Structure 1
Amino acid sequence: METNPEILAFVKAMSSAERLRIVGVLARGRATQAQIAEQLHLPVRDVFNHLSFLVHVNAVTEMDGVYDLNEKAVEALARRQFEGTRPAFVSKQEKQEDVRKVLKNFLNADGTLKQIPPIGNKLLIILNFIVDAFAFDTDYTEKEVNTILRRFHVDTAALRRYLVDHKLMAREADGTKYWRVKADVV
């Protein structure tokens, strides 16, 4: 069994009652070492040691002596910690077969969606199919995006939101411009 040092450090950080209490204080808002020590009735030195470890595992951030809970990092670590086991290797052929099955089940003969799949792997397969209708290095207005998405389904707002949420497309904050995101090559 392979051990992930990041997960191991997270488990170690969250296995201490004092550190969990510190995380609880920081979940309510930012605080200094002294404020945390006072609220939890712990020695400042102990709080310093616990905070140092929490900063080390990226569960807490520190700026100018004020500590803040790094909620996104804690959530991501917790999610990875409790993920189910996954197969170590899935062949390209198996992946292609899964994609083919999902497309067959969710697409009509004309390429329109029978329905938008629930959130998960099936949705991602459908979104990857849809995003191919958009060119790279091209800016689209919301109206143009809707016109393209309408070829697939009437609920263009949901498809737009899913494409942006899954980082297949990006948009300006005001929604005036959309573009296809290039996948990171690892």
Structure 2
Amino acid sequence: MEIDKLTIEEIKNGYKFDKDINSYVCNSCGRTFEVGEIHPFDGRLFEASRAIKIHLSKEHKDYLKELLYNNSKYNTLTDNQKELLFLIYSDKNDKEIAKTLDISPSTVRHQRFMFREKAKQAKMYLAIYEQVMEKKSHKDEAIIPIHNSATMVDDRYLITEKEREQILKTTFESLSPLKLKTFPKKEKKKVVVLKMISEQLEKGRPYTEKELNEILKEIYDDYVVIRRYLVDYGFMERTNDCTEYWLK
């Protein structure tokens, strides 16, 4: 889930509408439902806007849990807060929650109050931030978004759009098809290169090691290095035995 590319409503709903592909896209698994196509479920046919909701109810029925317990760097809730929020969502009263968590009802009420206050703070911050950002006039100076699954968030991710364009121009022989000259040593360049390569892969699709190697070979001869760094930098995950890889 790419938080920076979703509205609050899209995050809550579990899906977004992508105008570029005229499709509804699931936030969790990336499955798409194109407008104009008919999508089958349990022997019945549905148009796209209904099909995405049925998909969510069947494949991601615990979507709130996915939100609460995802490992995004933006999820700063503690384990206790996550558990408490889920119990509140489950429509339990304060006494029931207190008994489950072995705390006092007054502690539960206090935490409810704090959640509400934090939500108000977040609204104010968003209003101020969006007003400031809407006024910006220098696109080249905009910082490119950090991918949600980044494993090491530090200065290497302070990359402007202008820097990104320059890195792409100097490190790749061609952008279509994608051909890398050499894998860079500088961290900022690695981030830009790896992100570009990751965009050549399909979301929600598992790749065998052989399939991934074949794709990466077309981009750069030392595909093993690229494969390792895609995992190290959090663009991809893999099974413990390294037989299967997928985009995070």
TM-score, length-normalised on structure 1? 0.47
* Structure with bigger gyration radius: 1
Structure with greater contact order relative to length (CA < 8 Å, sep ≥ 6): 1
